[in-house]
Amino acid sequence: MRPNILFVFSDQHRWSDLGCYGNKEVQSPYLDEFARSGTTVEACLSNCPLCVPARGSLLTGLYPMKHRAVSNDLPIDPSANSVAHALNGKGYHTGYMGKWHLGGIPRDQAIEQERRLGFTEWKVCNCSHDYLNSYYYDEKNRRHEINGYDAETYTTLAVDFIRRNKDEDQPWALWLSWGPPHDPYFAVPEKYLARYDEQTLSLRPNVPDTIVHSLGHRWTREEARRNLKGYYAHITALDEQFGRLVKTLEESGQLENTIVVYTSDHGDQLGSNGYTNKQLPYEESVRVPLIVRGPGIQPGARTSAMIGTTDLPVTVLSLAGVELDGADGRDLSSIFSDNSATGLDECYLFDLVPCHQSARRGTGAWRAVRTRRYTYACSDNGEPALFFDNLADPAQRNNLVADRAYADILSALQARVKAFADEYDALIPWPNLLKENGLLDEWNKSQRYFGEPETIPAIT
């Protein structure tokens, strides 16, 4: 029988903030232990570091222009081929639990069966960041109130799923999506906050004295450190929940025949490079943890191979011997069994529409390419391009875009960005991109829901 799949992903967890990635301050013993029995990937990159587009790609292996959820609170194309469709076709029993955020607006809606991308079992909240007072809808769209930390409730539901399907004559595949450590950083049980003293926490080396949260609000380093405390508290809370999952697999005799994945949709700046949140081409936004354990996967291994989150669904299904037809992502499963496998040579990164947080701080849409050594990014609103040597400057503090010594490398990277954009979207103003792809009405519907101004494309 094919292996089971447990795909766990959190929201807004940057790669640097786990013990197994070298962080000495965050408490993550269960994920650290899990990493010792699986393969840890050092360079997993969120192609689009924004919740909705990233989630759509994690479930379909498609870039956002194809799955249509190109920005936050736009609905995914319900006809998109998903991991659940592919697995259902191979006899799997599939389930999804936790945050969805692919139904468009309103955020608190129930998702009808035809819009669930093929998942059979269903315990889902479209989108809520009230982690201590949340809810979910079941398969029949009955609403259930959650008393307590919602990640714990979703984990309990996942534990029940794992136990119930132990003796069935078909493999199972469960996608479990936790909302934290996405802000609000302090919507976490007090017992986890009590484990951290913000005065002793270290900010990343690229956090300046003044940090742009929005055009009218700046963080200080003290505020960044205070929010880091809440962020770490969420991570520790999730770590304990992850430990429950592994324990359940072990006690039920299913651990050795289950592919287990931990990752996130994108990262969090938390002050790095002078910004908060995500939607930026910096490492803190785009780089996420990826730890995988299961049959045929090297235990206790670390790889510097590069992989994009759009490649992940194709790769994980390949580990189970299942193909995801029509995907943009590549099968990079060899990085989990072959020490010489290097993964991608280059990864396309982008934010197609500067929604919500990006709009409030005045940053624009951008396209980027990251190779194993360099990152180059260009914006659509006149902001200076970014060009970093990530080997010499891992904190990305020295912009080389005007350094003539790198002119040839810069030119090659600029050409690669254009080639990627020509293939997957277009280097045109983002309002025009929405209009030309039939997404403007849905976008403006979302803008009205949030009390934001509607968008009018430029005349070209």
CA-CA distance, 262 to 31, in Å (whole number)? 8
**What's the chain's Rg over C-alpha atoms?**
21
Q: What is the helix (H) or strand (E) element at residue 258, kind and residue range?
A: strand 258-264
Cα 319 from chain centre:
20
Instruction: Render the burial of 289-324: b for 16+ CB within 10 Å, e for the rest.
Output: bbbbbbeebbeebebebbbbbbbbbbbbbbbbebeb
Mind giving me the DSSP string for 341-409? --B-SEEEEEESS--HHHHHHT---EEEEEESSEEEEEESSSPPPEEEETTT-TT-----TT-GGGHHH
Q: Strands of 12-115 (E only): list them.
A: 39-45, 93-99
The strand pairing partners of 155, in sequence order, are: none
Cis, bond preceding 181 (omega within 30 deg of 0): yes
48, 352 contact by CB (below 8 A) = yes
* Catalytic residue of the set 13, 101, 213, 234: 101
357, 278 contact by CB (below 8 A) = yes
The strand pairing partners of 387, in sequence order, are: 376
CA-CA distance, 164 to 158, in Å (whole number)? 10
- 51 is known as an active-site residue: yes
Nearest to 237 by CA among 295, 197, 194, 288: 194
* Catalytic residue of the set 20, 48, 51, 347: 51
Q: Which residues have CB under 8 Å from 134's CB, separation 6+? A: 125, 128, 146, 150, 153, 179
CA-CA distance, 45 to 350, in Å (whole number)? 11
CA-CA distance, 447 to 353, in Å (whole number)? 12
Helix axis angle, 150-164 relative to 221-251, nearest 10°? Answer: 20
Q: Which residues have CB under 8 Å from 98's CB, separation 6+? A: 123, 124, 125, 136, 150, 151, 154, 176, 177, 178, 179
- 127 is known as an active-site residue: no
* Active site residues per annotation: 51, 101
